[in-house]
């Protein structure tokens, strides 16, 4: 996963815009919502880096497939923004 913020920023309780979008657990196929910072997604899309996804039901992580990346791109384009509290 890309590191866009310093560790110091995590301790200051800052917030940043995020995007909440559905993911499908690769183990049980359950649809869940996950959330990532806009800056992380935007940079990954620009530099064509992988986007690390997480399904809490099985605490499993994986790199987004091309289809998942396109779906995330559409959520970003639609302005499906939230506020993420850093350090939680």
What is the predicted pLDDT for the residue at 16?
Answer: 87
Whole-angstrom distance, CA of residue 88 vs CA of residue 71: 26
Q: Is the pLDDT of residue 29 over 60?
A: yes
> pLDDT tens digits, residue range 45-83?
999 999 999 999 999 999 999 999 999 999 888 876 566
**DSSP per-residue codes, 5-61:** S-HHHHHTT-EEEEEEEEEE-TTT--EEEEEEEHHHHHHHHHHT---EEEETTTTEE
State pTM to two decimals.
Answer: 0.71
What is the predicted pLDDT for the residue at 10?
Answer: 45
Distant-in-sequence, close-in-space partners of 76: CB < 8 Å, separation ≥ 6: 19, 38, 41, 42, 45
> pLDDT tens digits, residue range 2-14?
333 333 344 456 6
């Amino acid at each position: 996963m890309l590191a866009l913020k310093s560790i110091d920023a995590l301790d200051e309780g800052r917030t940043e815009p995020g995007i909440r979008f559905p993911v499908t657990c690769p183990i049980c196929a359950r649809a869940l919502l996950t959330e990532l910072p806009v800056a992380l997604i935007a940079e990954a899309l620009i530099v064509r880096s992988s986007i690390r996804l997480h399904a809490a039901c099985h605490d499993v992580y994986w790199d987004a497939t091309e289809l998942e990346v396109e779906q995330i791109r559409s959520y970003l384009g639609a302005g499906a923004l939230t506020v993420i509290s850093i350090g939680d």
